[in-house]
Amino acid sequence: MNEVAVAKVYVKSQQGDRTVVNLPGTQYQIRLCATGKVEPTAQGRAWGVIRVPVWKLDLVSNGGAFVEPVFGRPRRVQGEVIATLPETNSVVVLVAGQPIVGDLPERWQASQIAVGTRVGLDCPDGATFSPAQAPAAV
């Protein structure tokens, strides 16, 4: 996976494949389905890729970067596109200093969305967390 897509999170709870993570410095408690074994550090940190399926993409000109709701599964993600992944038709959106990958439906092409564009992504159920190695500089 593209290193720009790896997020640092704090694991709040795990039950089966359901993992609740916190984006550092926020109150967000995002419920995700883990795609592998999540092994947090003694401090509760974990690294991985947060992916959300997207059913609707909006180009936005104002408003902040956020995940909605604050607690639970992500239903809307809004922020600035920091990378596009045309090979998987995905965009990487920066929220609270952490990347979230949005998997686009066929009607939108990631290759046609410019880096720096502000987007809002409406997300059905199915958000995942894929554990990854911590970056070497951490």
Per-run averaged pLDDT (10 residues), the chain, 138 residues: 88 96 97 96 96 97 92 98 97 97 96 96 98 76
- The confidence score (pLDDT) of residue 62 equals 85
- The confidence score (pLDDT) of residue 63 equals 82
- The confidence score (pLDDT) of residue 137 equals 61
Q: Output the six-digit token pair for 97.
A: 């200093």
- The confidence score (pLDDT) of residue 3 equals 85
Distance CA(34)–CA(86), nearest Å, equals: 24
Using CB atoms within 10 Å of the CB of residue 63, give its burial: 0 to 12 exposed, 13 to 18 middle, 19+ buried: exposed
Q: What is the pTM of this model?
A: 0.94
- The dihedral through the CA atoms of 97, 48, 28, 33 has a sign that is positive
- Please count the CA atoms within 13 angstroms of the CA of 97 that sit on its side-chain side: 8
- The confidence score (pLDDT) of residue 8 equals 97
- The confidence score (pLDDT) of residue 135 equals 72
- The confidence score (pLDDT) of residue 138 equals 54
- The confidence score (pLDDT) of residue 106 equals 92
- The confidence score (pLDDT) of residue 1 equals 57
